[in-house]
Amino acid sequence: MATSDEWIQTRTGIKERHVVTEGTAASDLGVLAVQNALASAGKTAEEVDIIVGTSASPDMVWPATACLIQAKIGAKNASAFDVQSACAGFSYALTVAAQFVETGRADCVLLVGAEAMSRFVDWTDRSTCILFGDAAGAVVLERVEPGYGLLASYYGSDGNGAHLLRIPAGGSARPASIEMVEQNMHFIKMNGNEIYKFATRVTIDAVNKALKLAGLKKDDIDYLIPHQANQRITEAMMNRLKLPEEKMVSNIERYGNTSTASIPLAMDELWRSGKIDKGSVLLTVGFGAGLSWGANVIKWNKSKT
């Protein structure tokens, strides 16, 4: 294809990505992430009350990927469902998952973003196939002491922009057919320039509004974890927010855009690197098809030791 490593690195910040092998689906990656998260939290699959899944590249239209993961890990006491909001999925699903814990309806909630984006990429479309990667990330949510955990969330959507980023076929509007496949309509279609402009605009607003809801200032943020869609988008965002570069968590160069997995993947790396401790303030911000976006302010409750 007419592209180059230099073009990709300069325009996106991506150096390498991971692509699933034949026979591997989003739920298979989800299982690995979930097992790591449970081990980290010292929990067994039987202790999980609810599994909230989110995926822009689910195994199937339905059943929910969360149900497939439930069966594979043997979480027999859990109920399971998916939250669908494309690349903003983790941001929305985090609030949904946290509310079960906050209201006392569940003690242990597992949240997993699992992606096999390479399955939905048109490998002849150079404007999209260079961006996406496969990955999964998971977190375990439990009740924490007051003043910690998810402090505030802010969301927005603009369905008028739905046509800017979508997988047009395979749903009830354009069911799967030979014609749809011949036209590559079952693959990701994106207006990159418009998504770029949208992303820089809404993420800044979401960050400011989420901070205000949490009663915090920009200086209170220890780390900002943006959806890893494009290094240029996140750098532009940091510049406009006047936040120092060292506060931005970025791993896009090693994974590409992994949709719902990108924020938990970055969060996990940040945690395992030892850079955060109990009391650290993290701000996550996601955006994607919908159009939809959301920011969450988290006061980390887990001590390093």
- Residue of the chain from 192, 222, 250, 301 that contacts ligand ACO (CB under 6 A): 192
Identify the bridge partners of residue 284 per DSSP, sorted by sequence position.
225, 296
Residue span 263-302 as binding mask against ligand ACO, x where in contact by CB under 6 A, dash where not: ------------------------xxx-------------
Closest distance of CB 86 from ligand ACO, Å: 6
Query: Is 87 tagged catalytic?
Result: yes
Decide if residue 101 touches ligand ACO (CB under 6 A): no
Listed in sequence order, the DSSP H helices in the chain are: 5-12, 26-41, 65-73, 89-102, 178-182, 192-214, 231-241, 252-255, 262-272
> Considering beta carbons, is residue 80 or 248 the nearer one to ligand ACO?
248
Minimal distance, residue 192 CB to ligand ACO, in Å: 3
Buried b (16+ CB within 10 A) or exposed e, 93-129: bbbbbbebbeeeebebbbbbbbbbbbbbbeeeeeebb
C-alpha to C-alpha distance for 93 and 261, rounded to whole angstroms? 12
Which amino acid is it at 150? L
Among 257, 280, 284, 292, binds ligand ACO (CB under 6 A): 257
Catalytic residue among 230, 251, 257, 296: 257
Q: Which of 91, 200, 230, 234 binds ligand ACO (CB under 6 A)?
A: 230
Regarding 195 and contact with ligand ACO (CB under 6 A), the answer is yes
Q: Which residue is nearest to ligand ACO (CB)?
A: 192
Asked if 55 is part of the footprint of ligand ACO (rule: CB under 6 A), the reply reads no
Distance separating alpha carbons of residues 195 and 52, to the nearest angstrom? 27
296 is known as an active-site residue: no
Concerning whether 129 is annotated as a catalytic residue, the answer is: no
Two tokens at 130? 């260079």
CA distance linking residue 176 with residue 126, whole number of Å:
24
- For residue 62, the minimal CB distance to ligand ACO (Å) is 21
Catalytic residue among 67, 108, 186, 227: 227
